[in-house]
Amino acid sequence: MSETTETIFSKIIRREIPADIIYEDNLVLAFKDIHPQAPVHILLIPKKTIPTLADAESEDHALLGHLLLTAKRLAEEAGLKNGYRVVINTGDDGGQTVHHLHVHILGGRQLNWPPG
């Protein structure tokens, strides 16, 4: 893997650094965000290295569907009966800081709109 695609999330997938992992299957991994912005703040990532949503390709169709359905399942399991927010920050203007595609699942409080 090249240095440009290696991120802290790759290290979490390989268990080289610790994370509070809450779900894993053959395609995705979910863990608690280290700086939670809400009472529930889960990060859900594909194990495949895709730097940003903008880099996803048609062959990732099923993987992206699996990510969203897993986000729904994790939100249900976290008890977010009153709603939640799913966010994919993409690229510099999108505020993405870790260049490994990830889904934020936020809930447990009233979330504001629009975001900053």
Q: Which residues fall within 8 angstroms of residue 5, CB to CB, at 6 or more apart?
A: 49, 51, 99, 100
Between residues 30 and 80, which has the closer beta carbon with respect to ligand AMP? 30
Residue 89 contacts ligand AMP per CB under 6 A: yes
Q: Tell me if residue 70 falls in helix, strand or coil.
A: helix
User: Tokens standing for 10?
Assistant: 């790759």
Asked if residue 39 has a cis previous peptide bond (ω within 30° of 0), the answer is no
State the catalytic residues. 102
- Residue choice 13, 19, 28, 38 for contact with ligand AMP (CB under 6 A): 19
Residue 50 contacts ligand AMP per CB under 6 A: no
Residue 96 contacts ligand AMP per CB under 6 A: yes
Which of these segments, 55-63, 78-86, 90-98, 108-116, binds ligand AMP (CB under 6 A)?
90-98
H or E stretch at 82:
none
